[in-house]
Structure 1
Amino acid sequence: MDIQGLAAIVTGGASGLGAATAGLLAAEGAKVAILDYNAAAAEEMAARIGGVGIGCDVSDGASVAEAFARATAAHGPARILVNCAGVAPAQKILGRSGVMPLEDFARTIGVNLIGSFATLRLFFEAAAGLESLPTGERGVVVNTASIAAYEGQVGQTAYAASKGGVVGLTLPAAREGASLGIRVCTIAPGIFETAMLKGLPEAAQESLGQSVPFPPRLGRPEEYARLVRFIVENEMLNGETIRLDGALRMGAR
């Protein structure tokens, strides 16, 4: 799929992986709508890349529907959807203060898993009505999981479960999308330079980076964005979850 001139929606696009992706897609000629829980940050990032910024809580169906309507009004129906919105809480099932509140687990599932599905379903609905491109495609979805889906650590039950759900969603969604000309892939990043990690002391960041076999450093958001671009452009990539982790396999802690 040629990115030039296509409408794209990036959730969680105001920072980190989403911001890098939104910037790269815009540089490739896409009309980008940035959806983010932080509406002001979404608008600020959109102004930088010539897109549109929209406040959105991906765990809320009504919020997603309103955001998609605004994105469509601005750029037309999207051909590209990249889901980067997510939360990464660290909480044990049974900690010093007692059991994990059920609402905390549900919130993580709501944002990371249900949020991915909430956008995917509306994207399917809109893209299904579009004319096929010369490749036979109507659209492509790239979801974001994590290597925690495979090697979740202590304190990551909610996060790993949510990202495992995103991995499990990928193939059946791609199979359903096949008859519509819609591809679905997922990226499972390792340890990347995000706002959360940048808040750690420099020594801690270096230590985390050194745990990666090669290259021995934290991943860069632009490396994630370049993989998104490759998935969009390569029409044979479908139904696959791609690890982007420098061969890292996480230990229990």
Structure 2
Amino acid sequence: MKIDPSLSAVVTGGASGLGLATVKALRAQGASVAIFDLNEEAGAAAAAETGASFVPCDVLSDDSVDRAFAAARAVQGQERALICCAGGGNAITTIKQDRETGAITIFPTDKFELVVRLNVVGTFRCITRGAAGMATLEPIAGERGAIISTASAAATDGQMGQAAYSAGKAAIVGITLPVARDLSRFGIRVNTIQPGLFATPMMLRAPQAMLDKLGAMVPFPPRMGDASEYASLALELLRNGYMNGETIRLDGAIRMQPR
């Protein structure tokens, strides 16, 4: 797939972090990009900064996602590239015991379900809409489109308190190959990036001492990843027509410890 002014792309979660870095990388190559994000203030600022368009979108809602794709296509035509970066998590252990009273509390099921829905169901909701639109296009060099999902090191190395986040991200890894096989007949490729520790705005809220400690855990290079490095891999996955059905770790060889 060529990344040039003829390409139309959608990036979910594109108002910050890995998504915004991907928007910037696509725009630097001249592609038309629609940012889908729930944060309207950040989305508008990202669009103004990059020259992309912003469409409010809640990946937890069928109606919101349908409206967002329709709005983006009205502005820039049918997308051939979809990069799914929207997601999130929480930090709750499976059960917890109060040190003073000894009382046992459990991980609230609704909070577990919300994180799983946000990550894998939200990603799949966008994949289905994107793929349905791509399938209507005429192939270019035999290809109609490419889709990239975002998992996490937590998909395989989940730490304490990450049961919900790990479940959602592991499910993204799990659907990658079957979805790629489903879409192969339409000439649409599907790959997933599994990032490790990245210096995103959410991560950078932590104290500097903690950030230094986290970076030192990475074998090489001993630092957190830069969002531009995620974006670089995302663009290569779009360009490389033989990359399909793969999950690629991008983590400096880290394997997360239990806590």
TM-score range, shorter chain: over 0.9
**Deviation at residue 170 of structure 1 after TM alignment:** 0.3
Residue 185 (str. 1) matches residue 165 (str. 2): no
Mind listing any 5+ residue stretches in structure 1 that lack a counterpart? none
Match of 2:211 in 1: 205
Match of 2:49 in 1: 48
Secondary structure of the structure 2 residue equivalent to 1:108: helix
Secondary structure of the structure 1 residue equivalent to 2:63: helix
Residue 108 (str. 1) matches residue 115 (str. 2): yes
Match of 1:17 in 2: 18
Match of 1:81 in 2: 82
Counterparts of residues 132-171 of structure 1 (less than 5 Å): 132-133=139-140, 135-171=141-177
Match of 2:242 in 1: 236
**Deviation at residue 95 of structure 1 after TM alignment:** 2.3
What amino acid is aligned across from residue 221 of structure 1 in structure 2? A
**Deviation at residue 51 of structure 1 after TM alignment:** 1.2
**Deviation at residue 99 of structure 1 after TM alignment:** 0.9
Secondary structure of the structure 1 residue equivalent to 2:202: helix
Residue 3 (str. 1) matches residue 3 (str. 2): yes
Is the 8 Å Cα contact of residues 40 and 55 (structure 1) preserved in structure 2? no
Rounded to whole Å, the distance in 1 between the matches of 2:50 and 2:157 is 36
Rounded to whole Å, the distance in 2 between the matches of 1:40 and 1:130 is 33
What amino acid is aligned across from residue 109 of structure 1 in structure 2? V
Equivalent position to 1:117, from 100, 112, 124: 124
Equivalent pairs, count: 252
Equivalent position to 1:252, from 225, 234, 258: 258
TM-score scaled by length of structure 2: 0.96
User: Once superposed, what is the RMSD of the aligned Cα atoms?
Assistant: 0.9
**Deviation at residue 177 of structure 1 after TM alignment:** 1.0
Match of 2:133 in 1: 126
Rounded to whole Å, the distance in 1 between the matches of 2:256 and 2:52 is 37
**Deviation at residue 250 of structure 1 after TM alignment:** 0.8
**Deviation at residue 96 of structure 1 after TM alignment:** 4.2
Cα deviation, 1:123-160, whole Å, max 9, x if unaligned, reads 11100010000x21100000000111111111000000
**Deviation at residue 208 of structure 1 after TM alignment:** 0.2
Is the 8 Å Cα contact of residues 174 and 183 (structure 1) preserved in structure 2? yes
Secondary structure of the structure 2 residue equivalent to 1:195: coil
Secondary structure of the structure 1 residue equivalent to 2:165: helix
**Deviation at residue 195 of structure 1 after TM alignment:** 1.6
Secondary structure of the structure 1 residue equivalent to 2:220: coil
What amino acid is aligned across from residue 152 of structure 2 in structure 1? S
Rounded to whole Å, the distance in 2 between the matches of 1:139 and 1:55 is 23
Mind listing any 5+ residue stretches in structure 2 that lack a counterpart? 99-104
TM-score scaled by length of structure 1: 0.98
Secondary structure of the structure 2 residue equivalent to 1:191: coil
